């Protein structure tokens, strides 16, 4: 049986330097963060709030053996988004 969960936090105003994405580099402003927990990992994506395109947060996916850990990863990423500075997925080394 596959176990999964998702969390979405909308309208996060990013700090200077925003969030680093794999596809387009840093994005900043009014952002929405979405985390999907499946297969033992938290997959983090971000978009401009209200936009259609989603981008992979650099350092995603993050190992998360249970739902509680994945939720904590999501919350840590919300904090990182607010801080900005080219935020990466929690635990990811700056590149």
Band (pLDDT 50/70/90 cuts) for residue 10 is very high
Q: Is residue 44 part of a domain?
A: yes
The token duo for 86 is: 């080219």
Residue 62 domain-assigned (yes or no): yes
Q: Could you tell me the pLDDT band of residue 94, with boundaries at 50, 70 and 90?
A: very low
Q: Average the pLDDT over 24-43 and give the result.
A: 97
Residue span of the structural domain in which 12 resides:
4-83
Distance in angstroms (rounded) separating the CA atoms of residues 70 and 26: 23
> Residue 14: inside a domain, yes or no?
yes
Per-residue pLDDT reduced to its tens digit, 47-79 = 999 999 999 999 999 999 999 999 999 999 999
How far apart (Å, rounded) are the C-alpha atoms in residues 57 and 29? 15
The DSSP 8-state label assigned to residue 87 in this structure reads B
Q: Is residue 95 part of a domain?
A: no
What is the rounded average pLDDT of the residues 6-10?
97
Q: 8 has which bridge partners?
A: 34
């Amino acid at each position: 049986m596959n176990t999964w969960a998702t969390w979405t936090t909308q309208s996060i105003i990013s700090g200077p330097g925003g969030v680093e994405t794999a596809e387009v580099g840093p994005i900043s402003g009014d952002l929405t963060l979405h985390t999907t927990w499946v297969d033992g990992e938290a997959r983090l994506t971000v978009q401009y709030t209200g936009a259609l395109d989603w981008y992979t947060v650099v350092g995603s996916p993050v190992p998360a053996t249970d739902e509680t850990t994945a939720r904590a990863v999501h919350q840590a990423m919300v904090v990182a988004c607010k801080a900005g500075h080219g935020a990466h997925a929690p635990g990811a080394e700056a590149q």
